[in-house]
Amino acid sequence: MRDFYFHSPTSLQEVFSLLEEHGEDARPMAGGTALVVLMKQSLVEAEHFVSLARVPGLAGIRAEADGLHIGALTNHRDVETSPVVKQGWPLLAEVYRNVATVRIRNVATVGGGLAHADPAQDPPPGFIVLDARVKLVSRSGERVIPITELFTDYYETSIRPGELLTEVIVPPVPAGARSVYLKFLPRTADDYATVSVAALAETEDGTCRRLKVALGAAGPTPVHATAVEQALNGQRISPEAVRLAAEAVAAQVDPLDDFRGSSEYKRDMAVVFTRRAVERVLGLA
Amino acid sequence: MAASDPIPIRLTINGKQHQASVPPRRTLVDFLRYDLGLTGTKEACSVGVCGACTVLLNGRIAASCITLAVQADGAEIVTIEGIGSEEHLHPVQQAFIDHGGFQCGICTPGQIVAAKALLDENPKPSEDEIKEWLMGNLCRCTGYYQIIESVKAASGQAV
């Protein structure tokens, strides 16, 4: 690993000053589980690490009237084990439980993971079906955007220079909604998904009222499977309708060839796992 | 000021206060092994996957190969050297001996630190809970059966 400067600011203003001063040579650092590995492999060559660990107020989980607020420095394990999360947002506890190993989840943070924007991560599909928003703060103010607008390309986000992701806001889950996260893991239990699917649905008298589906490891960004949702929303629930709707995901995904499988194989698996996930949330399986 | 200039850190390791100056790129495992001579902690994969370098960071397991020493400033670290003593082995250590939980020994410090952390949090884990917790600690010798048995035995459960 090459040498770098390590800064430990104790306020957001100090963080913004360091990011302004060093521009593209600076990288904010949260838990570091991804950043240190990327530095070791020379995939990132930052001159300046700006640690967020000593900035107060960036970690914590709290439920408010508009939903769950998760501070960016909250680690994965705290989301996974939080009674508040398990009670009101069980899908979130489930997606975080699926990340790597306990050893990584103890250190990796919610905001660091989202800013890292590896499209194979487990949490983003969960956040997408839960209609999460992220708060981006800079010296000049703050903006809140839907999480679907955060991911722009492979490891790329819409976070602007000088901006920090400080919080994720997840609206309350409607009573009676069913959710599931399916992660296809043919290799080892701590691996990234070959393909993964999060789904959430509200149903009424055999009709699909509101379906949400999103996939991980299925393209250069997490994929919001709008075609599947549109095919089923307002429709009578049947195995045939779900089978046809799941096939619509094939045109929305764009998986990468890698050692977990070819692009064609992952596209097929995206259809299979989408069907299974939707069957589960619509009460067919 | 150069990027390689050492940064002062203070931390507690196995109950003892330490002060040191480390270059920012120094990993925690290198700091423990080469600056302090605490060579019980092993480094194998170097990318946080294999578990050999597992230490307790403020009571929770962490991968010391992808943690910078400067990140541990102010922290409380426990390494394998801080678990049990030669005269009084920790129950997990004794169980690994009694049940053949190790062969070559490279993964063993990480396995024992991780198993201790599991039992601190969950004193009577099920076999599935043991497997889920330890899946990130790779062993190329034992086939894992003896390791799982050792952790069960250390928790006072029949094996």
- Residue boundaries of the structural domains of chain A: 5-51, 61-170, 179-281
What kind of fold does domain A5-51 have according to CATH? 3.30.43
Predicted local distance difference test score (pLDDT) of residue B143: 82
Would the CB atoms of A103 and B63 count as touching at under 8 Å? yes
Residues of B with CB below 8 A from A36's CB?
A: 27, 66-68
For residue B14, the enclosing domain spans 7-82
Most A CBs within 10 Å: which of B11, B22, B71, B116, as the mutation test of the A interface?
Answer: B71
Give the per-residue SS3 of chain B: CCCCCCEEEEEEECCEEEEEEECCCCEHHHHHHHHCCCCCCCCCCCCCCCCCCEEEECCEEEECCCCEHHHHCCCEEECHHHCCCCCCCCHHHHHHHHCCCCCCCCCHHHHHHHHHHHHHHCCCCCHHHHHHHHCCCCCCCCCCHHHHHHHHHHCCCCC
ipTM of the complex: 0.96
Helix (H) or strand (E) holding A151: strand A151-153
Q: Report yes or no: A188 at the B interface, CB cutoff 8 Å.
A: yes
Task: With respect to residue B159, please indicate whether it lies within any of the assigned structural domains.
Answer: no
- Summarised one tens digit per residue, pLDDT across range B34-51 is 999 999 999 999 999 999
Instruction: Tell me which residue in B61, B68, B114 faces A32 most closely, judged by beta carbons.
Output: B68
Most B CBs within 10 Å: which of A52, A73, A101, as the mutation test of the B interface?
Answer: A101
What kind of fold does domain A61-170 have according to CATH? 3.30.465
What kind of fold does domain A179-281 have according to CATH? Enolase-like; domain 1 (3.30.390)
Q: Report yes or no: A6 at the B interface, CB cutoff 8 Å.
A: yes
Task: With respect to residue B2, please indicate whether it lies within any of the assigned structural domains.
Answer: no
Assign residue B69 the CATH number of its domain: 3.10.20.30
Would the CB atoms of B135 and A5 count as touching at under 8 Å? no
Query: Same domain, yes or no, for B31 and B69?
Result: yes
Residue that finishes a domain, picked among B53, B82, B111: B82
Assign residue B110 the CATH number of its domain: 1.10.150.120
Domain total of chain B: 2
> How far is it, in rounded angstroms, from Cα B123 to Cα A108?
25
Residue that finishes a domain, picked among B61, B82, B103: B82
Tokens 């062969």, residue located: B103
Query: Same domain, yes or no, for B106 and B44?
Result: no
Asked whether the predicted pLDDT for residue B2 surpasses 90, the reply is no
Query: Same domain, yes or no, for B134 and B68?
Result: no
Asked whether the predicted pLDDT for residue B3 surpasses 90, the reply is no
Encoded amino acid at A208, one letter: C
pTM summary value: 0.96
Asked whether the predicted pLDDT for residue A252 surpasses 80, the reply is yes
Q: In Å, how far is B8's CA from the nearest CA of chain A?
A: 12
Q: What is the mean pLDDT of chain A?
A: 97
